[in-house]
Structure 1
Amino acid sequence: MKAIAEGLFTSEPEPRLVGGKDRESGRIVFPCPVNDRFEPVPLSRSGTLWSYTIQRFRPKSPPYAGPEAFTPFPVAYVELPGETIVEARLVDVDFDDIEIGMPLEFTTTPLDPDAAEPVLIPAFRPAEAA
């Protein structure tokens, strides 16, 4: 399977998000802007849950390109210590077990596992599930 967008994360076996480090200030952002001001840098695979919500309705298409049959999923804001806060899907956890501050690890997950050619999106899972 391929990534939903080129340059979003590194390849297996240990994928990492690719952020952008501002060459002047050193500030790190995600995703990495495509310009001369930012240098691509691999981000930490470990972080903590900063905030989250449950996506309970199918987003508008376009831009959403996921399955027609919608199943709610958690969307996480994950703090990568000393780097930045990123938004990604939260996987391998029951809604009732989600807790602010829980340790997480980066992974990838198919946007639509039933698609003919599924694409991978960024995700985080509880560190103990890794």
Structure 2
Amino acid sequence: MSRTRKPVIAGWFSGDGDDFRLLGTRCSACASVFFPREDTHCRNPGCPGGDLEEVPLSRRGRIWSYTDSQYRPPSPYVTNPELPWEPYALIAVELETERLVVLGQAVPGVTVRDLAVGMEVEVVPGVLHEDAEAVRTTWQWRPTRGR
């Protein structure tokens, strides 16, 4: 039986494979771009406010900072306490076009030893958690290594 794939947070990303994109919003008055998306008002304190439109964000960016998680995060992060904890790399990526930094996990198998500030990475679909009912999908960062 195939489990349903459900995004961890609906409306924050779309697509699959090469068309996978994070979704942000852009203010029509000041051109500020937001992620996570903003659907009610412009977050720029100097902006009089404008319409907010959904925009796909750049697929690639450069590592701004990174670290690893050596401990099991507390609830509401979902983990199986029966399984041993597997640390993962957490990457802050600067999207140059949008001029913002987006945080996310590295793809499985990539550790902090594989990363460097300034390295190019791309956003790809990933899995945060699987249970009997669904596969909870999210975004992850993968080094491009000349792709």
Q: Shorter chain as normaliser: what TM range? A: 0.7 to 0.9
Cα distance in 2, alignment partners of residues 39 and 129 from structure 1: 32
Cα distance in 1, alignment partners of residues 72 and 104 from structure 2: 16
Aligned residue among 66, 76, 80 for 2:95: 80
Aligned residue among 110, 120, 138 for 1:93: 110
Q: Is 1:111 matched up with 2:128?
A: yes
Report how far residue 128 of structure 1 moved. Answer: 2.6
TM-score by length of 2: 0.78
Contact 2:89 2:105 in 1 (8 A): yes
2:14 corresponding residue in structure 1: 10
Report how far residue 77 of structure 1 moved. Answer: 0.5
Give the counterpart letter for 1:46 in structure 2. R
For 1:86-114, what per-residue CA distance to the aligned partner results, in whole angstroms no more than 9, with x for missing partners? 0111114233111111110110211125x
Report how far residue 36 of structure 1 moved. Answer: 5.3
For 1:18-67, what per-residue CA distance to the aligned partner results, in whole angstroms no more than 9, with x for missing partners? 012122211111110222543211001011111011011111112x1233
Contact 2:67 2:112 in 1 (8 A): no
Contact 1:66 1:111 in 2 (8 A): no
Identity %: 31
Q: Secondary structure at the match of 2:113?
A: helix
Q: Is 1:59 matched up with 2:73?
A: yes
Aligned length: 128
TM-score by length of 1: 0.87
Detail structure 1 runs of 4+ shifted over 4 Å in the superposition: none
Aligned residue among 24, 30, 39 for 1:19: 24
Contact 2:58 2:97 in 1 (8 A): no
Unaligned regions of 5+ residues in structure 2, if any?
43-51
Contact 2:63 2:119 in 1 (8 A): yes
Cα distance in 2, alignment partners of residues 34 and 27 from structure 1: 13
Contact 1:54 1:75 in 2 (8 A): yes
Cα distance in 1, alignment partners of residues 10 and 146 from structure 2: 27
